[in-house]
């Protein structure tokens, strides 16, 4: 697994989607191998090969049988260091991504995610998903991809992780051979150097992307919250379990198990290099839209003080996190992804050894206090992707102002 500490937040302004299309182009041929030949080579060693991109990082991962470790590493190095980046492949890949963006307009969850992040962050580097925009993609060139690769995919920004039934020294030698000659020319601009995230404009309290005759409304409720480096990290993780981070969370028990409005509700703090979003994700039956928003806002407001986290709730959440901790480290892939977090967020080497005891020390008061600190009901923005004709009247009675109507193509 190769972690590169550059992701879609490194997209230059107006070039939203460049990091992702560059990542997508890595396995479209390399050195002497065409795109198809490269994938034939991967298939011959039974490799599972993936490239994932987020705002802060790009992750190239491969799982293969032990006896193919040498060949696997060599192919990974080819992909990362020596991509072919031909004009023809680029035009094809860009077209496929444009088609994909077209299709995403019909997927309520995708529309909600893309619109919500834009509402919260505006033009900030976190204000777009890795896919970027149709407008930016349409004008992108292979030269820009090449330049981005040179600038961003470089050894000083990368960490190689190998996990499995193998000898340390042997893998080190294989990696040294495979990645020999990868040089580090280029700038070293990092997302960490940017100013803290502040939305350019304060979003409206209530926003709607109309989806006529939709049987459900897709909801997002949240605001920009905490960075991965916050000293409140462990307390927030535990507190979020109570609010919306597990099956028995307040929000899921309320919206699903009590009201039957939804198949499931969850909240998450998306901890990133810079302050990431806090968001409630839920899809509710159309007729229950306004009530679900009311209940959700009520739960978020209540947990900050009026109905603070109880000792029993926190004990359950802490136990779920700590007693179940071991199963996060069962497979080679899980261990590699965990170790990649250390490299991405500059966590101490003994981070995983410390996790359980730190979570166990969180008190109910502290859990309530960190939610009060990082969640502000007055700043919460609600987005609905749903049937405005049916829900419009109920929404206008929510005291969140008249809903601002957006289109799936707005951004």
* Residue indicated by tokens 């679900």: 292
Is the CB of residue 161 less than 8 Å from the CB of residue 340?
yes
316 binds another protein (CB under 8 A): yes
Among 50, 258, 365, 402, binds another protein (CB under 8 A): 258
74 binds another protein (CB under 8 A): no
47 binds another protein (CB under 8 A): yes
Question: What gap in Å lies between CA 115 and CA 407, rounded to an integer?
Answer: 9
Q: Pick the closer one to another protein by CB: 45 or 301.
A: 45
Binding map of another protein across residues 162-201, x = CB under 8 A, - = no contact? ----------------------------------------
Question: What gap in Å lies between CA 137 and CA 132, rounded to an integer?
Answer: 7
Helix H, strand E, coil C: the string for 358-395 is: HHHHCCHHHHHHHHHHHCCHHHCEEEEEECHHHHHHHH
In the complex, minimum distance from the CB of residue 293 to another protein, in angstroms, rounded to a whole number: 16
Question: What gap in Å lies between CA 54 and CA 126, rounded to an integer?
Answer: 10
Among 12, 31, 52, 63, binds another protein (CB under 8 A): 63
Among 181, 327, 348, 378, binds another protein (CB under 8 A): 327
CA-to-CA dists, residue 113 to 144, 253, 291, 369, angstroms: 27, 23, 21, 28
| List of residues 6+ apart from 157 with CB closer than 8 A | 4, 5, 6, 188, 190
In the complex, minimum distance from the CB of residue 410 to another protein, in angstroms, rounded to a whole number: 17
Q: Interacting stretch for another protein, rule CB under 8 A, among 123-131, 175-183, 214-222, 295-303?
A: 214-222
H-only helix segments in 184-330? 233-240, 250-252, 289-303, 311-323
Among 173, 329, 389, 393, binds another protein (CB under 8 A): 329
Q: Pick the closer one to another protein by CB: 11 or 295.
A: 295
Burial profile 50-66: b = 16 or more Cβ within 10 angstroms, e = fewer = ebebbbbbbbbbbbbee
216 binds another protein (CB under 8 A): yes
Among 87, 138, 173, 247, binds another protein (CB under 8 A): 247
332 binds another protein (CB under 8 A): yes
Query: Could you tell me the two tokens for 202?
Result: 């304060």
DSSP state of 410: -
* Residue indicated by tokens 């050195």: 31
36 binds another protein (CB under 8 A): yes
Among 166, 202, 315, 405, binds another protein (CB under 8 A): 315
Question: What gap in Å lies between CA 96 and CA 71, rounded to an integer?
Answer: 29
Beta strands in 150-299, from DSSP E residues, in sequence order: 158-160, 206-210, 216-224, 262-269, 277-285
Q: Pick the closer one to another protein by CB: 147 or 248.
A: 248
Q: Pick the closer one to another protein by CB: 294 or 376.
A: 294
Nearest CA to 192 among 128, 273, 129?
273
In the complex, minimum distance from the CB of residue 375 to another protein, in angstroms, rounded to a whole number: 23
In the complex, minimum distance from the CB of residue 236 to another protein, in angstroms, rounded to a whole number: 19
Site for another protein in 85-144 (CB under 8 A): 92, 95-96, 99-100, 102-103, 105-108
Is the CB of residue 29 less than 8 Å from the CB of residue 38?
yes
In the complex, minimum distance from the CB of residue 242 to another protein, in angstroms, rounded to a whole number: 12
Residues that bind another protein (CB under 8 A): 35-36, 39-40, 43-48, 63-65, 92, 95-96, 99-100, 102-103, 105-108, 211, 214-216, 218, 246-248, 256-258, 260-263, 283-285, 315-316, 319-320, 322-327, 329-333
């Amino acid at each position: 697994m190769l972690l590169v500490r550059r992701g879609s937040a490194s997209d230059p302004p107006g070039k939203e989607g460049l990091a992702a299309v560059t990542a997508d182009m890595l396995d479209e041929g390399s050195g002497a191998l065409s795109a198809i030949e490269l994938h034939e080579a991967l298939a011959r060693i039974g490799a599972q090969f993936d490239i994932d991109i987020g705002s802060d990082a790009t992750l190239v991962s491969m799982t293969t049988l032990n006896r193919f470790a040498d060949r696997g590493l060599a192919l990974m190095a080819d992909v990362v260091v020596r991509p072919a980046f031909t004009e023809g492949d680029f035009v094809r890949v860009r077209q496929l991504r444009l088609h994909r963006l077209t299709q995403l307009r019909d997927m309520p969850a995708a529309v909600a995610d893309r619109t919500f992040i834009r509402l919260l962050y505006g033009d900030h580097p976190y204000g777009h998903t890795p896919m970027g925009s149709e407008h930016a993609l349409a004008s992108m060139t292979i030269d820009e991809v090449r330049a981005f690769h040179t600038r961003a995919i470089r050894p000083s920004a990368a960490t190689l992780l190998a996990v499995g039934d193998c000898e340390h020294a042997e893998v080190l030698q294989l990696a040294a051979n495979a990645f020999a000659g990868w040089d580090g020319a280029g700038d070293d601009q990092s997302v960490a150097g940017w100013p803290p995230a502040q939305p350019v404009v304060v979003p409206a309290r209530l926003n709607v992307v109309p989806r006529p005759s939709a049987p459900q409304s897709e909801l997002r409720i949240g605001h920009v919250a905490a960075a991965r480096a916050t000293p409140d990290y462990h307390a927030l993780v535990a507190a979020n379990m109570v609010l919306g981070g597990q099956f028995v969370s307040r929000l899921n028990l309320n919206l699903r198990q009590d009201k039957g409005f939804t198949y499931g509700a969850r909240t998450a703090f998306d901890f990133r290099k810079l302050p990431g979003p806090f968001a409630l994700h839920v899809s509710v039956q159309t007729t229950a839209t306004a009530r679900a928003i009311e209940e959700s806002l009520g739960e978020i407001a209540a947990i900050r003080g009026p109905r603070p986290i109880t000792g029993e709730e926190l004990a359950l959440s802490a136990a779920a996190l700590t007693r179940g901790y071991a199963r996060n480290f069962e497979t080679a892939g899980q261990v590699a992804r965990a170790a990649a977090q250390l490299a991405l967020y500059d966590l101490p080497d003994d981070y995983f050894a410390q996790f359980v005891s730190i979570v166990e020390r969180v008190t109910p008061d502290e859990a309530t206090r960190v939610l009060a600190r990082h969640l502000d009901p007055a700043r919460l923005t609600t987005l609905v992707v749903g049937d405005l004709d049916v829900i419009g009247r109920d929404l206008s009675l929510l005291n969140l102002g008249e809903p601002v109507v957006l289109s799936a193509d707005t951004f």
